Amino acid sequence: MILYFYPRDDTPGCTKEACGFRDAWTDLQDLGVVVLGVSADDAASHTKFAAKYRLPFTFCPTRTTR
């Protein structure tokens, strides 16, 4: 399992890291690795971020939308 924490969705460094996991996705799946991204953003932000960059892994929101 890769559990990675990052400050915010759609920031330059976080996007680069997330896209790196995306680009290695086939290799990671072949190894049975699960990737989970965690930040302080809400689920709606994670959904938008994942769609924008075609990120195939799971994001865990740490707060809810108000």
Taking the CA atoms of residue 23, residue 29, residue 31 and residue 35 in that order, the dihedral angle to the nearest 10 degrees is 80
Q: Which of 1, 6, 14, 43 is catalytic?
A: 14
Is 19 part of the annotated catalytic residue set? no
Q: How far is CA 58 from CA 18, 21, 22, 39, in A?
A: 11, 11, 11, 12
Residues recorded for the chain: 66
Which residues are marked as active site? 14
